[in-house]
């Protein structure tokens, strides 16, 4: 299967199922068997996913992409051994980052819920006009990308995490802030935005927010 068909949802699902690391192996750049740019699409997906992982507190080194040809068996074995050692040193998913199992699931589920929206943002706002690994890596570490990520994905991700928390029970602004590690002002901003979209409502009797 072309690496261009490895969807972001596959990676998130793997982590949700408890996988400690995800390795993606594909063709060398500019050497696609299908005369497409699938391997560049995979590189972009991985770089975006690493940013998402870092945002929710997971070590991005748990995800790796390597370009390998069918004749590079020794290099494949070396890459796999190196990746396995990296993941072993990081420890079990979540525990290695100091995140408890319930919180880890909540964060990953928030990302999973947002995948369709992220695909749309990637298609419309994060398309890269050049085809080189250097160009891709430069873009995904640029101030422009950080601005776009914060304005689009990060904002929606925090809203998604709030919705996930409120599925359990109504919570006050302070409780949400503590659970998400946000300041009260940040939490209020996300709650106001969520209420404006008809996702949450304020329950005066409980002095807390609940799902709309």
Report how far residue 7's alpha carbon sits from residue 42's, in angstroms, rounded to the nearest whole number. Answer: 8
The pTM of this model reads 0.87
Tell me what pLDDT residue 3 has: 86
Tell me what the mean pLDDT of segment 2-17 comes to: 93
Whether the pLDDT of residue 209 is over 90: the answer is yes
Tell me what the mean pLDDT of segment 136-147 comes to: 93
For 153, counting Cβ atoms within 10 Å of its Cβ (0-12 exposed, 13-18 middle, 19+ buried), the class is: buried
* Structure-token pair, residue 191: 């709650």
First vs last C-alpha separation in the chain: 42
Report how far residue 141's alpha carbon sits from residue 134's, in angstroms, rounded to the nearest whole number. Answer: 11
* Structure-token pair, residue 15: 């982590």
Does residue 181 contact residue 161 with C-beta atoms inside 8 Å? no
Which domains, and CATH codes, for the chain?
3-168 (no CATH), 169-212 (1.10.10.10)
Tell me what the mean pLDDT of segment 99-125 comes to: 90
Does residue 72 contact residue 27 with C-beta atoms inside 8 Å? no
Closest of 52, 176, 186 to residue 107, by C-alpha: 52
| Per-residue pLDDT reduced to its tens digit, 54-78 | 999 999 999 999 988 878 889 999 9
Q: Which residues contact 122 (CB under 8 A, 6 or more apart)?
A: 44, 45, 48
Whether the pLDDT of residue 35 is over 70: the answer is no
Closest of 48, 49, 43, 53 to residue 93, by C-alpha: 53
The packing angle between helices 173-180 and 155-166, to 10°, is 120
Whether the pLDDT of residue 28 is over 90: the answer is no
């Amino acid at each position: 299967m072309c690496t261009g068909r490895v969807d972001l949802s596959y990676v998130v699902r793997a982590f949700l199922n408890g996988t400690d690391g995800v390795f993606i192996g594909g063709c060398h750049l500019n050497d696609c068997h299908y005369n497409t740019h699938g391997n560049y699409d995979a590189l972009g997906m991985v770089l975006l996913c690493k940013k998402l992982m870092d945002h929710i507190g997971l070590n991005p080194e748990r995800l790796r992409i390597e370009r390998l040809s069918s004749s590079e068996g020794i290099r494949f074995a070396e890459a796999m051994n190196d990746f396995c050692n990296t993941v072993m040193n990081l420890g079990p998913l979540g525990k290695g980052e100091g995140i408890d199992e319930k919180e880890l699931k909540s964060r990953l589920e928030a990302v999973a819920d947002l995948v369709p929206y992220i695909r749309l943002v990637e298609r419309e706002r994060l398309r890269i006009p050049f085809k080189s690994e250097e160009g891709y890596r430069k873009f995904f570490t640029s101030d422009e990308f950080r601005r776009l990520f914060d304005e689009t994905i990060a904002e929606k991700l925090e809203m998604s995490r709030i919705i996930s928390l409120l599925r359990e029970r109504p919570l006050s602004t302070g409780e949400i802030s503590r659970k998400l590690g946000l300041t009260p002002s940040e939490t209020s901003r996300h709650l106001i935005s969520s209420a404006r979209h008809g996702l949450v409502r304020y329950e005066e009797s409980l002095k807390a927010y609940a799902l709309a």
